[in-house]
Amino acid sequence: MPDKKNKILLVEDDDSLGYLLSEYLRIKDFDVYWAQTGKKALELIEENTHHLIILDVMLPDIDGFTLAHEFTAQFPEIPFIFLTARSLKIDVLKGFSLGAVDYLKKPIDEEELVARIHSLLSRIQPTLKENDSKNFLYNIGDYEFDSKRQELLFNGKPVHLTARENDLLLYLVQNKNKLCSHKDILVRLWGKNDYFNRKSLNVFISHLRKYLQNDPKIKIENLHKKGFILKVE
């Protein structure tokens, strides 16, 4: 029988924390690959298919933000969570701007981590199954959006989307020319409506506006304190 376990890449250089988290996640029925350096993490992600990456910011060889950039460039379909002792607002927002779907601060409660992982995967995987059985190709003005491949094409040239960018654009496209409230977007895609997630949403909206700027018929309009509308003439 094929392995049904969700595969997690844990990138954590601390021996004690890395061992504790990897063993706890295995007890919770996850298949865990543990890397203590950025170099090892890049090797593991090339060798195996992963459903989620848990990434420490402070690593001995490669800065976690730099490593996150590498992950999103090569594997935009894999979501990742930052796990770090750095709690400055600028670090949190930088993590979200790189495509992180969550940002957890040390010391982390293992049960909370598992709950967040389950919440994240439950939001992502039904979307993938839905795309397998229903339409996953959408025309947006002069663009073609392939939500299954996480690609946005303009004149045949693809832009590869992160998992969060893909989910957000899919939600806006499915509600084209309709108001999508901040709350509905955040609860559906982030799982929680709070300050940091609202800031993260604004970052990802900026990404999508940049990707769609080649067609003047397309606009993502911001209704102050209400939400966003994907307008397509």
Among candidates 131, 231, 225, which has minimal Cα distance to 181?
225
Residue pair 68/99 in contact by the 8 Å Cβ criterion: yes
pLDDT at 27: 94
CB contact set of 222 (below 8 Å; sequence gap of 6+): 205, 228
Q: Is 107 exposed, middle or buried (0-12, 13-18, 19+ CB in 10 A)?
A: exposed
Residue-wise pLDDT for 98-121, tens only, equals 777 788 888 888 888 898 888 778
pLDDT for residue 128 is more than 70: no
Residue-wise pLDDT for 9-33, tens only, equals 999 999 999 999 999 999 999 999 9
Please name the residue that has the structure tokens 């102050």: 224
Q: Which domains does the chain have, with CATH numbers?
A: 7-128 (3.40.50.2300), 135-232 (1.10.10.10)
Residue-wise pLDDT for 54-87, tens only, equals 999 888 898 888 888 888 877 777 888 888 776 6
